[in-house]
Chains A and B, each alone.
Chain A
Amino acid sequence: MTTTFKTLSIDRIEGNRLIFSGAQLKHAVIDEKNFPSDITEVLLSSFQPINLIIRPSSFNGQINYIIGENTTGKIIHLFDNDIHHFARIYRLEEGAQIDFATPDFEQADRDFNLQIDLVGTNAKTNWFLSALVDKKHSKVYDISFLHKSGHTFADMQNYGVIIDDSKLFFSGTSAIFENMSRAETHQTAKIIIFDDKAMAKADPILAIHHNDVAASHAATVGKVNSDHLFYMQSRGISELDTKRLITKGYLEPVIKFIDDAVVADQLSRKLEEAL
Protein backbone atom coordinates (compact mmCIF):
# COMPACT_ATOMS: atom_id res chain seq x y z
CA MET A 1 0.00 0.00 0.00
CA THR A 2 1.31 3.47 -0.82
CA THR A 3 0.38 6.81 0.60
CA THR A 4 -1.82 9.18 -1.34
CA PHE A 5 0.20 12.13 -0.04
CA LYS A 6 2.77 13.62 -2.41
CA THR A 7 5.48 16.06 -1.43
CA LEU A 8 4.87 19.44 -3.04
CA SER A 9 7.61 21.00 -5.05
CA ILE A 10 8.11 24.73 -4.89
CA ASP A 11 7.12 26.35 -8.15
CA ARG A 12 5.99 29.87 -7.24
CA ILE A 13 7.85 32.40 -5.11
CA GLU A 14 7.02 36.13 -4.87
CA GLY A 15 9.61 37.92 -2.73
CA ASN A 16 9.58 36.29 0.68
CA ARG A 17 6.30 34.53 -0.01
CA LEU A 18 5.69 31.00 -1.24
CA ILE A 19 2.42 30.31 -3.02
CA PHE A 20 0.68 26.97 -3.24
CA SER A 21 -2.74 26.80 -4.80
CA GLY A 22 -5.32 24.68 -6.53
CA ALA A 23 -5.72 20.93 -6.82
CA GLN A 24 -2.11 20.19 -5.84
CA LEU A 25 -3.17 20.78 -2.19
CA LYS A 26 -5.57 17.83 -2.20
CA HIS A 27 -3.21 15.24 -0.67
CA ALA A 28 0.06 17.06 -0.28
CA VAL A 29 3.06 17.24 2.02
CA ILE A 30 4.70 20.60 2.60
CA ASP A 31 8.18 19.98 3.91
CA GLU A 32 9.54 23.19 5.38
CA LYS A 33 13.07 21.83 5.08
CA ASN A 34 12.76 22.49 1.34
CA PHE A 35 11.94 26.19 1.85
CA PRO A 36 14.45 28.84 0.81
CA SER A 37 15.90 30.40 3.96
CA ASP A 38 14.36 33.88 3.40
CA ILE A 39 10.75 32.68 3.25
CA THR A 40 8.52 34.32 5.87
CA GLU A 41 5.09 33.76 4.40
CA VAL A 42 3.24 30.86 2.76
CA LEU A 43 -0.07 31.32 0.96
CA LEU A 44 -2.37 28.33 0.68
CA SER A 45 -5.41 28.78 -1.49
CA SER A 46 -7.80 26.44 -3.21
CA PHE A 47 -11.41 26.15 -4.27
CA GLN A 48 -11.30 22.40 -3.55
CA PRO A 49 -10.88 21.10 0.00
CA ILE A 50 -7.21 20.93 0.93
CA ASN A 51 -5.64 18.00 2.81
CA LEU A 52 -2.12 18.89 3.86
CA ILE A 53 0.64 17.46 5.96
CA ILE A 54 3.07 20.13 7.10
CA ARG A 55 6.48 18.88 8.21
CA PRO A 56 8.02 21.72 10.22
CA SER A 57 11.68 22.57 9.92
CA SER A 58 13.95 23.59 12.75
CA PHE A 59 14.10 27.08 11.24
CA ASN A 60 14.09 29.47 14.18
CA GLY A 61 12.38 32.43 12.54
CA GLN A 62 8.70 33.09 12.14
CA ILE A 63 6.75 31.67 9.21
CA ASN A 64 3.21 32.92 8.67
CA TYR A 65 0.76 30.75 6.80
CA ILE A 66 -2.12 32.54 5.11
CA ILE A 67 -5.17 30.46 4.35
CA GLY A 68 -6.89 32.14 1.43
CA GLU A 69 -10.52 33.16 1.18
CA ASN A 70 -13.02 30.27 1.29
CA THR A 71 -10.25 27.69 1.43
CA THR A 72 -11.44 24.69 3.47
CA GLY A 73 -9.97 21.36 4.55
CA LYS A 74 -7.45 20.09 7.03
CA ILE A 75 -3.83 20.50 8.00
CA ILE A 76 -1.85 17.90 9.92
CA HIS A 77 1.44 18.75 11.64
CA LEU A 78 3.93 15.89 11.72
CA PHE A 79 7.12 16.46 13.70
CA ASP A 80 10.48 14.83 13.55
CA ASN A 81 12.52 14.19 16.67
CA ASP A 82 14.90 17.04 15.97
CA ILE A 83 12.28 19.81 15.89
CA HIS A 84 12.53 21.43 19.30
CA HIS A 85 11.25 24.94 18.62
CA PHE A 86 8.26 25.72 16.49
CA ALA A 87 6.59 29.10 16.11
CA ARG A 88 3.99 29.72 13.43
CA ILE A 89 1.06 32.01 12.79
CA TYR A 90 -1.87 30.90 10.66
CA ARG A 91 -4.09 33.64 9.28
CA LEU A 92 -7.52 32.53 8.16
CA GLU A 93 -9.11 34.86 5.62
CA GLU A 94 -12.83 35.29 5.02
CA GLY A 95 -14.67 31.98 4.82
CA ALA A 96 -11.53 29.89 5.41
CA GLN A 97 -12.41 26.79 7.42
CA ILE A 98 -9.56 24.55 8.53
CA ASP A 99 -9.32 21.58 10.93
CA PHE A 100 -5.85 21.19 12.43
CA ALA A 101 -4.60 17.85 13.81
CA THR A 102 -1.28 17.57 15.62
CA PRO A 103 -0.27 14.10 16.81
CA ASP A 104 2.99 14.37 18.75
CA PHE A 105 4.17 11.01 20.04
CA GLU A 106 7.89 11.60 19.49
CA GLN A 107 10.36 11.18 22.33
CA ALA A 108 11.64 14.74 22.14
CA ASP A 109 11.60 18.11 23.83
CA ARG A 110 9.20 20.54 22.25
CA ASP A 111 8.58 24.25 22.56
CA PHE A 112 5.52 24.78 20.41
CA ASN A 113 4.09 28.21 19.84
CA LEU A 114 1.18 28.61 17.49
CA GLN A 115 -1.28 31.40 16.86
CA ILE A 116 -4.34 31.23 14.69
CA ASP A 117 -5.70 34.61 13.60
CA LEU A 118 -9.28 34.53 12.42
CA VAL A 119 -9.19 37.70 10.35
CA GLY A 120 -12.10 37.17 7.97
CA THR A 121 -15.82 36.80 8.58
CA ASN A 122 -16.97 33.18 8.78
CA ALA A 123 -13.43 31.92 9.35
CA LYS A 124 -13.62 28.72 11.35
CA THR A 125 -11.14 26.33 12.89
CA ASN A 126 -11.10 23.15 14.95
CA TRP A 127 -7.81 22.34 16.65
CA PHE A 128 -6.94 18.86 17.98
CA LEU A 129 -3.62 18.03 19.66
CA SER A 130 -2.56 14.71 21.19
CA ALA A 131 0.76 14.70 22.99
CA LEU A 132 2.67 11.93 24.73
CA VAL A 133 5.59 12.93 26.94
CA ASP A 134 7.94 10.46 28.59
CA LYS A 135 11.56 9.71 29.43
CA LYS A 136 12.30 13.05 31.16
CA HIS A 137 11.29 15.11 28.14
CA SER A 138 9.55 18.45 28.31
CA LYS A 139 6.83 19.59 25.96
CA VAL A 140 5.31 23.06 26.11
CA TYR A 141 2.42 23.99 23.83
CA ASP A 142 1.28 27.60 23.70
CA ILE A 143 -1.66 27.80 21.32
CA SER A 144 -3.79 30.90 20.87
CA PHE A 145 -6.80 31.91 18.84
CA LEU A 146 -7.28 35.58 18.04
CA HIS A 147 -10.74 36.47 16.76
CA LYS A 148 -10.09 39.58 14.69
CA SER A 149 -13.42 39.44 12.91
CA GLY A 150 -17.01 38.78 13.92
CA HIS A 151 -18.85 35.57 12.99
CA THR A 152 -15.75 33.46 13.55
CA PHE A 153 -15.50 30.11 15.32
CA ALA A 154 -12.64 28.29 17.04
CA ASP A 155 -12.55 25.12 19.11
CA MET A 156 -9.35 23.84 20.70
CA GLN A 157 -8.93 20.37 22.17
CA ASN A 158 -5.58 19.49 23.71
CA TYR A 159 -5.03 15.99 25.08
CA GLY A 160 -1.89 14.86 26.83
CA VAL A 161 -0.46 11.84 28.61
CA ILE A 162 2.61 12.23 30.76
CA ILE A 163 4.78 9.35 31.95
CA ASP A 164 7.98 9.19 34.00
CA ASP A 165 9.80 12.25 35.26
CA SER A 166 8.56 14.49 32.42
CA LYS A 167 6.87 17.84 31.93
CA LEU A 168 3.84 18.86 29.90
CA PHE A 169 2.30 22.32 29.75
CA PHE A 170 -0.74 23.44 27.78
CA SER A 171 -1.31 27.17 27.70
CA GLY A 172 -2.79 29.70 25.36
CA THR A 173 -5.28 32.48 25.03
CA SER A 174 -8.52 32.65 23.15
CA ALA A 175 -9.14 36.33 22.54
CA ILE A 176 -12.24 37.96 21.12
CA PHE A 177 -11.66 41.64 20.48
CA GLU A 178 -14.08 44.58 20.71
CA ASN A 179 -16.99 44.64 18.28
CA MET A 180 -16.39 41.08 17.09
CA SER A 181 -20.06 40.10 17.26
CA ARG A 182 -21.14 36.48 17.10
CA ALA A 183 -17.64 35.16 17.57
CA GLU A 184 -17.43 31.81 19.33
CA THR A 185 -14.41 30.26 20.99
CA HIS A 186 -13.86 27.13 23.11
CA GLN A 187 -10.86 25.50 24.76
CA THR A 188 -10.55 22.06 26.38
CA ALA A 189 -7.36 20.70 27.90
CA LYS A 190 -7.02 17.27 29.50
CA ILE A 191 -3.87 15.66 30.83
CA ILE A 192 -3.50 12.18 32.33
CA ILE A 193 -0.59 11.77 34.72
CA PHE A 194 0.83 8.29 35.24
CA ASP A 195 3.69 9.05 37.62
CA ASP A 196 3.97 11.08 40.80
CA LYS A 197 7.22 12.59 39.53
CA ALA A 198 5.63 13.93 36.36
CA MET A 199 4.71 17.61 36.17
CA ALA A 200 1.73 18.86 34.19
CA LYS A 201 -0.15 22.11 33.89
CA ALA A 202 -3.10 23.19 31.77
CA ASP A 203 -3.83 26.88 31.70
CA PRO A 204 -6.49 27.90 29.19
CA ILE A 205 -7.21 31.63 29.20
CA LEU A 206 -10.14 33.50 27.73
CA ALA A 207 -9.79 37.20 26.94
CA ILE A 208 -13.21 38.43 25.91
CA HIS A 209 -13.76 42.10 25.05
CA HIS A 210 -17.25 41.93 23.59
CA ASN A 211 -20.63 40.79 24.90
CA ASP A 212 -22.35 39.21 21.93
CA VAL A 213 -20.12 36.11 21.86
CA ALA A 214 -19.96 32.50 23.09
CA ALA A 215 -16.93 31.24 24.96
CA SER A 216 -15.93 28.38 27.25
CA HIS A 217 -12.82 26.82 28.67
CA ALA A 218 -12.15 23.66 30.67
CA ALA A 219 -9.03 22.02 32.00
CA THR A 220 -8.53 18.68 33.74
CA VAL A 221 -5.26 17.33 35.02
CA GLY A 222 -5.39 14.08 36.93
CA LYS A 223 -4.49 10.47 37.36
CA VAL A 224 -6.22 7.64 35.56
CA ASN A 225 -9.54 6.78 37.12
CA SER A 226 -8.81 3.98 39.59
CA ASP A 227 -12.20 2.37 38.86
CA HIS A 228 -11.19 2.05 35.19
CA LEU A 229 -7.89 0.46 36.19
CA PHE A 230 -9.59 -2.02 38.50
CA TYR A 231 -12.25 -2.90 35.95
CA MET A 232 -9.74 -3.65 33.22
CA GLN A 233 -7.31 -5.47 35.48
CA SER A 234 -10.19 -7.60 36.79
CA ARG A 235 -10.28 -9.17 33.33
CA GLY A 236 -6.68 -10.32 33.60
CA ILE A 237 -5.00 -7.41 31.83
CA SER A 238 -1.80 -6.35 33.58
CA GLU A 239 -1.47 -2.86 35.02
CA LEU A 240 1.04 -1.94 32.32
CA ASP A 241 -1.17 -3.18 29.49
CA THR A 242 -4.19 -1.49 31.05
CA LYS A 243 -2.36 1.83 31.06
CA ARG A 244 -1.24 1.22 27.47
CA LEU A 245 -4.82 0.61 26.36
CA ILE A 246 -6.14 3.67 28.17
CA THR A 247 -3.36 5.88 26.81
CA LYS A 248 -3.84 4.60 23.29
CA GLY A 249 -7.57 5.19 23.54
CA TYR A 250 -6.96 8.67 24.85
CA LEU A 251 -4.44 9.80 22.24
CA GLU A 252 -5.43 7.83 19.17
CA PRO A 253 -8.58 9.77 18.16
CA VAL A 254 -6.34 12.45 16.58
CA ILE A 255 -5.32 9.84 14.02
CA LYS A 256 -8.92 9.60 12.82
CA PHE A 257 -8.43 13.03 11.23
CA ILE A 258 -6.07 11.40 8.76
CA ASP A 259 -7.83 9.71 5.87
CA ASP A 260 -4.67 8.17 4.40
CA ALA A 261 -4.30 4.57 5.63
CA VAL A 262 -0.51 4.52 5.32
CA VAL A 263 0.07 7.71 7.29
CA ALA A 264 -2.56 6.73 9.89
CA ASP A 265 -0.96 3.30 10.27
CA GLN A 266 2.52 4.83 10.67
CA LEU A 267 1.22 7.07 13.44
CA SER A 268 -0.60 4.21 15.16
CA ARG A 269 2.59 2.16 15.13
CA LYS A 270 4.58 5.12 16.43
CA LEU A 271 2.15 5.45 19.32
CA GLU A 272 2.29 1.69 19.99
CA GLU A 273 6.10 1.80 20.01
CA ALA A 274 6.14 4.79 22.33
CA LEU A 275 3.87 2.96 24.74
Chain B
Amino acid sequence: MAKLVISNLHVKVADKIILNGVNLTINDGEVVALLGPNGHGKSTLLNAIMGNPNYVVTEGSIEFDGKNVLEMTVDQRSRAGLFLGMQAPSEVPGVINADFIRAALNARTDKPISPIKLFRLIEKASKEMQMPLDLSNRNLNEGFSGGEKKRNEILQMKLLKPSFAMLDEIDSGLDVDGIKIIADQINNEKAPTRAFLIISHYARLYDLINPTRAIVMINGQVAVDSDVSVIQRIDTEGYEWLAREKGIRIEKEQPRISTLGTCAVKESI
Protein backbone atom coordinates (compact mmCIF):
# COMPACT_ATOMS: atom_id res chain seq x y z
CA MET B 1 0.00 0.00 0.00
CA ALA B 2 1.26 3.46 -0.84
CA LYS B 3 -1.54 5.96 -0.46
CA LEU B 4 -0.42 9.45 0.51
CA VAL B 5 -3.00 12.09 1.48
CA ILE B 6 -1.88 15.67 2.06
CA SER B 7 -4.44 18.19 3.32
CA ASN B 8 -4.05 21.96 3.64
CA LEU B 9 -0.31 21.68 4.24
CA HIS B 10 1.50 24.84 5.29
CA VAL B 11 5.28 24.74 5.70
CA LYS B 12 7.82 27.38 6.62
CA VAL B 13 11.58 27.40 6.27
CA ALA B 14 13.55 29.78 8.48
CA ASP B 15 10.38 31.80 9.20
CA LYS B 16 9.48 32.11 5.53
CA ILE B 17 6.21 30.47 4.48
CA ILE B 18 6.88 28.27 1.45
CA LEU B 19 3.80 26.00 1.23
CA ASN B 20 0.45 27.72 1.44
CA GLY B 21 -2.13 24.96 1.76
CA VAL B 22 -1.14 21.99 -0.39
CA ASN B 23 -3.86 19.42 -1.06
CA LEU B 24 -2.77 16.28 -2.83
CA THR B 25 -3.65 12.57 -2.89
CA ILE B 26 -1.42 10.00 -4.55
CA ASN B 27 -2.59 6.39 -4.85
CA ASP B 28 -0.95 3.00 -5.31
CA GLY B 29 0.59 2.45 -8.71
CA GLU B 30 0.80 6.13 -9.64
CA VAL B 31 3.93 7.75 -11.05
CA VAL B 32 3.47 11.47 -10.53
CA ALA B 33 5.59 14.13 -12.22
CA LEU B 34 6.07 17.18 -9.99
CA LEU B 35 6.90 20.36 -11.89
CA GLY B 36 7.04 24.06 -11.15
CA PRO B 37 9.29 27.10 -11.35
CA ASN B 38 12.28 27.28 -9.00
CA GLY B 39 11.47 28.41 -5.48
CA HIS B 40 7.76 27.54 -5.56
CA GLY B 41 7.79 24.64 -3.12
CA LYS B 42 8.53 21.36 -4.91
CA SER B 43 11.55 20.35 -2.83
CA THR B 44 9.94 21.83 0.27
CA LEU B 45 6.98 19.48 -0.19
CA LEU B 46 9.24 16.42 -0.47
CA ASN B 47 11.37 17.44 2.51
CA ALA B 48 8.29 18.12 4.63
CA ILE B 49 6.89 14.69 3.80
CA MET B 50 10.21 13.07 4.77
CA GLY B 51 10.46 15.11 7.98
CA ASN B 52 13.49 17.31 7.39
CA PRO B 53 13.67 19.36 10.62
CA ASN B 54 14.50 22.52 8.66
CA TYR B 55 11.00 22.40 7.13
CA VAL B 56 8.42 23.20 9.79
CA VAL B 57 4.80 22.18 9.26
CA THR B 58 2.62 24.94 10.71
CA GLU B 59 -0.77 23.65 9.58
CA GLY B 60 -2.37 20.73 7.80
CA SER B 61 -1.83 16.99 7.73
CA ILE B 62 0.02 14.22 5.90
CA GLU B 63 -1.31 10.65 6.06
CA PHE B 64 0.43 7.61 4.63
CA ASP B 65 -1.59 4.42 4.48
CA GLY B 66 -3.92 5.93 7.06
CA LYS B 67 -1.14 6.79 9.52
CA ASN B 68 -0.31 10.30 10.67
CA VAL B 69 3.11 10.97 9.16
CA LEU B 70 3.64 14.17 11.15
CA GLU B 71 3.76 12.17 14.37
CA MET B 72 6.57 9.98 13.06
CA THR B 73 10.31 10.61 13.35
CA VAL B 74 12.34 10.70 10.13
CA ASP B 75 13.56 7.12 10.52
CA GLN B 76 10.04 5.89 11.30
CA ARG B 77 8.80 7.50 8.07
CA SER B 78 11.50 5.66 6.15
CA ARG B 79 10.66 2.32 7.75
CA ALA B 80 6.97 2.97 7.02
CA GLY B 81 7.88 2.99 3.32
CA LEU B 82 8.73 6.60 2.42
CA PHE B 83 11.95 7.36 0.57
CA LEU B 84 13.53 10.62 -0.58
CA GLY B 85 16.21 10.51 -3.25
CA MET B 86 17.90 13.82 -2.60
CA GLN B 87 18.88 16.62 -4.91
CA ALA B 88 22.19 17.11 -3.08
CA PRO B 89 22.97 13.96 -1.07
CA SER B 90 25.15 14.63 1.97
CA GLU B 91 28.79 13.64 2.00
CA VAL B 92 29.38 12.01 5.38
CA PRO B 93 33.08 11.66 6.24
CA GLY B 94 34.19 8.48 7.93
CA VAL B 95 30.96 6.55 7.37
CA ILE B 96 31.55 3.76 4.88
CA ASN B 97 28.86 3.44 2.21
CA ALA B 98 28.41 -0.32 2.81
CA ASP B 99 28.14 0.19 6.61
CA PHE B 100 25.47 2.80 5.99
CA ILE B 101 23.50 0.48 3.69
CA ARG B 102 23.84 -2.38 6.17
CA ALA B 103 22.51 -0.18 9.00
CA ALA B 104 19.57 0.90 6.81
CA LEU B 105 18.74 -2.72 5.89
CA ASN B 106 19.14 -3.93 9.48
CA ALA B 107 16.77 -1.20 10.66
CA ARG B 108 14.03 -3.03 8.75
CA THR B 109 14.60 -6.53 10.06
CA ASP B 110 14.99 -8.36 13.37
CA LYS B 111 17.84 -10.49 12.09
CA PRO B 112 20.98 -8.60 10.98
CA ILE B 113 21.93 -9.18 7.37
CA SER B 114 24.95 -11.47 6.90
CA PRO B 115 28.11 -9.94 5.40
CA ILE B 116 27.97 -12.24 2.38
CA LYS B 117 24.32 -11.46 1.67
CA LEU B 118 25.03 -7.74 1.99
CA PHE B 119 27.94 -8.06 -0.41
CA ARG B 120 25.81 -9.91 -2.97
CA LEU B 121 22.98 -7.38 -2.72
CA ILE B 122 25.33 -4.43 -3.21
CA GLU B 123 27.22 -6.23 -5.98
CA LYS B 124 24.00 -6.93 -7.90
CA ALA B 125 22.60 -3.41 -7.42
CA SER B 126 25.95 -1.81 -8.35
CA LYS B 127 26.03 -3.84 -11.55
CA GLU B 128 22.49 -2.79 -12.43
CA MET B 129 23.34 0.84 -11.70
CA GLN B 130 26.61 0.46 -13.65
CA MET B 131 28.52 1.76 -10.62
CA PRO B 132 32.00 0.53 -9.64
CA LEU B 133 31.67 -1.88 -6.69
CA ASP B 134 34.49 -0.10 -4.84
CA LEU B 135 32.19 2.92 -4.27
CA SER B 136 30.52 0.83 -1.57
CA ASN B 137 33.79 0.76 0.40
CA ARG B 138 34.33 4.50 0.22
CA ASN B 139 33.04 7.15 2.61
CA LEU B 140 29.37 7.87 2.03
CA ASN B 141 29.15 10.10 -1.08
CA GLU B 142 32.52 11.66 -0.24
CA GLY B 143 34.46 12.38 -3.43
CA PHE B 144 31.65 10.90 -5.54
CA SER B 145 30.95 12.72 -8.80
CA GLY B 146 27.52 14.34 -9.19
CA GLY B 147 26.37 11.40 -11.30
CA GLU B 148 27.71 8.81 -8.85
CA LYS B 149 25.83 10.46 -6.00
CA LYS B 150 22.56 10.30 -7.93
CA ARG B 151 23.14 6.68 -8.89
CA ASN B 152 23.91 5.91 -5.26
CA GLU B 153 20.51 7.34 -4.31
CA ILE B 154 18.76 5.03 -6.76
CA LEU B 155 20.91 2.11 -5.57
CA GLN B 156 19.64 2.76 -2.04
CA MET B 157 16.07 2.95 -3.32
CA LYS B 158 16.49 -0.41 -5.02
CA LEU B 159 17.83 -2.03 -1.85
CA LEU B 160 15.36 -0.47 0.60
CA LYS B 161 12.32 -1.05 -1.64
CA PRO B 162 10.13 1.83 -0.41
CA SER B 163 6.44 1.76 -1.24
CA PHE B 164 6.45 5.53 -1.86
CA ALA B 165 9.59 6.95 -3.50
CA MET B 166 10.17 10.66 -3.90
CA LEU B 167 12.99 11.67 -6.23
CA ASP B 168 14.17 15.27 -6.17
CA GLU B 169 15.89 16.26 -9.43
CA ILE B 170 17.50 12.85 -9.56
CA ASP B 171 18.46 13.50 -13.21
CA SER B 172 20.44 16.72 -12.59
CA GLY B 173 24.16 16.27 -13.06
CA LEU B 174 23.66 13.13 -15.14
CA ASP B 175 24.69 12.63 -18.73
CA VAL B 176 22.36 11.07 -21.28
CA ASP B 177 23.49 7.53 -20.48
CA GLY B 178 23.13 8.17 -16.75
CA ILE B 179 19.55 9.39 -17.17
CA LYS B 180 18.76 6.26 -19.18
CA ILE B 181 20.19 4.00 -16.44
CA ILE B 182 18.18 5.76 -13.74
CA ALA B 183 15.00 5.73 -15.82
CA ASP B 184 15.42 1.99 -16.51
CA GLN B 185 15.76 1.30 -12.79
CA ILE B 186 12.72 3.43 -11.93
CA ASN B 187 10.75 1.48 -14.54
CA ASN B 188 12.00 -1.82 -13.06
CA GLU B 189 10.85 -0.75 -9.61
CA LYS B 190 7.33 0.23 -10.64
CA ALA B 191 4.63 -1.96 -9.14
CA PRO B 192 0.86 -1.75 -8.50
CA THR B 193 1.55 -1.47 -4.76
CA ARG B 194 4.12 1.30 -5.08
CA ALA B 195 3.99 4.98 -6.01
CA PHE B 196 6.49 7.59 -7.19
CA LEU B 197 6.60 11.38 -6.90
CA ILE B 198 9.34 12.70 -9.15
CA ILE B 199 10.69 16.23 -9.57
CA SER B 200 12.50 17.07 -12.78
CA HIS B 201 12.96 20.18 -14.88
CA TYR B 202 13.37 18.18 -18.05
CA ALA B 203 10.96 16.22 -20.23
CA ARG B 204 13.74 13.74 -21.11
CA LEU B 205 13.41 11.82 -17.83
CA TYR B 206 9.63 11.91 -17.91
CA ASP B 207 9.66 10.65 -21.53
CA LEU B 208 11.59 7.61 -20.35
CA ILE B 209 9.52 6.76 -17.25
CA ASN B 210 6.02 7.56 -18.54
CA PRO B 211 4.35 9.23 -15.53
CA THR B 212 0.66 8.63 -15.02
CA ARG B 213 -0.08 12.17 -13.87
CA ALA B 214 1.49 15.64 -13.67
CA ILE B 215 1.31 18.23 -10.92
CA VAL B 216 2.54 21.81 -11.14
CA MET B 217 3.34 23.70 -7.95
CA ILE B 218 3.13 27.47 -8.07
CA ASN B 219 3.24 29.89 -5.15
CA GLY B 220 3.38 27.03 -2.66
CA GLN B 221 0.18 25.35 -3.86
CA VAL B 222 -0.82 22.67 -6.34
CA ALA B 223 -1.85 24.91 -9.24
CA VAL B 224 -2.31 22.22 -11.88
CA ASP B 225 -3.21 18.55 -11.42
CA SER B 226 -3.68 16.98 -14.83
CA ASP B 227 -2.64 14.36 -17.34
CA VAL B 228 0.92 14.26 -18.62
CA SER B 229 0.36 16.45 -21.68
CA VAL B 230 1.27 19.44 -19.52
CA ILE B 231 4.87 18.19 -19.25
CA GLN B 232 5.62 18.61 -22.94
CA ARG B 233 4.02 22.06 -23.03
CA ILE B 234 6.05 23.27 -20.05
CA ASP B 235 9.20 21.84 -21.64
CA THR B 236 8.67 23.85 -24.80
CA GLU B 237 6.90 27.00 -23.53
CA GLY B 238 7.88 27.37 -19.87
CA TYR B 239 5.30 28.43 -17.26
CA GLU B 240 4.05 31.79 -18.59
CA TRP B 241 1.15 30.22 -20.48
CA LEU B 242 -0.35 29.18 -17.13
CA ALA B 243 -0.65 32.88 -16.26
CA ARG B 244 -2.21 33.68 -19.64
CA GLU B 245 -4.61 30.76 -19.95
CA LYS B 246 -5.43 29.85 -16.37
CA GLY B 247 -4.99 33.22 -14.69
CA ILE B 248 -2.39 31.91 -12.26
CA ARG B 249 -0.14 34.69 -11.05
CA ILE B 250 3.42 33.39 -10.74
CA GLU B 251 5.37 35.18 -8.03
CA LYS B 252 9.02 35.70 -8.78
CA GLU B 253 11.52 33.74 -6.72
CA GLN B 254 12.88 35.87 -3.91
CA PRO B 255 16.55 36.63 -4.50
CA ARG B 256 18.77 35.01 -1.93
CA ILE B 257 20.78 37.25 0.33
CA SER B 258 24.46 36.94 -0.45
CA THR B 259 27.37 37.92 1.75
CA LEU B 260 30.75 39.02 0.54
CA GLY B 261 32.59 37.06 3.17
CA THR B 262 33.17 36.62 6.84
CA CYS B 263 36.28 36.13 8.88
CA ALA B 264 34.78 33.27 10.88
CA VAL B 265 31.92 30.83 10.51
CA LYS B 266 30.10 28.67 12.98
CA GLU B 267 30.51 25.23 11.60
CA SER B 268 28.97 21.81 12.03
CA ILE B 269 31.25 18.83 11.65
**Chain A residues in the interface with B (C-beta under 8 A):** 190-192, 220, 222-228, 230-239, 241-242, 245-246, 248-250, 252-253
Q: B73 and A226: CB pair below 8 A?
A: no
Q: A233 and B268: CB pair below 8 A?
A: no
**Chain B residues in the interface with A (C-beta under 8 A):** 50-54, 73-75, 77-79, 83-84, 86, 89-90, 92-96, 99-100, 103-104, 107-108, 139, 156, 160, 266-269
Which residues of chain B are near A225, meaning CB under 8 Å? 90, 268-269
Q: B73 and A230: CB pair below 8 A?
A: no
- Return the chain A residue nearest B47 by Cβ: A230
Which residues of chain A are near B156, meaning CB under 8 Å? 235
Q: B75 and A237: CB pair below 8 A?
A: yes
A119 to B266, CA, bound (A): 38
Which residues of chain A are near B50, meaning CB under 8 Å? 234
Of A190, A241, A249, the residue contacting B139 (CB under 8 A) is: A249
- Return the chain A residue nearest B103 by Cβ: A237
Q: A227 and B75: CB pair below 8 A?
A: no
How far, in Å, is B89 (CB) from chain A's closest CB?
Answer: 7
How far, in Å, is A270 (CB) from chain B's closest CB?
Answer: 17
Q: A239 and B75: CB pair below 8 A?
A: yes
Q: B95 and A234: CB pair below 8 A?
A: no
30 A-B contacts (beta carbon < 8 Å): A220-B269, A222-B269, A223-B268, A225-B269, A226-B53, A227-B90, A228-B92, A230-B52, A231-B89, A231-B92, A232-B90, A232-B92, A234-B74, A234-B83, A234-B86, A235-B78, A235-B156, A236-B79, A236-B160, A237-B104, A238-B75, A239-B75, A241-B103, A241-B107, A245-B99, A248-B95, A249-B95, A250-B94, A250-B269, A253-B94
Please classify the interface of chain A as helix (H, G, I), strand (E, B), loop, or mixed, using the class held by over half of its residues.
helix
A241 to B268, CA, bound (A): 19
A245 to B101, CA, bound (A): 11
Which residues of chain B are near A224, meaning CB under 8 Å? 268-269
Of A230, A232, A236, the residue contacting B108 (CB under 8 A) is: A236
A245 to B75, CA, bound (A): 15
Q: B73 and A233: CB pair below 8 A?
A: yes
In order of increasing CB-CB distance, the 4 nearest A-B pairs are A249-B94, A236-B78, A235-B104, A225-B268
Which residues of chain A are near B108, meaning CB under 8 Å? 236
Which of A190, A223, A245 has the most B CB atoms < 10 Å from its CB? A245
How far, in Å, is A237 (CB) from chain B's closest CB?
Answer: 5
- Return the chain A residue nearest B90 by Cβ: A231
A248 to B77, CA, bound (A): 25
With A234-B50, A245-B100, A250-B93 as given contacts, are A226 and B268 in contact (CB-CB < 8 Å)? yes
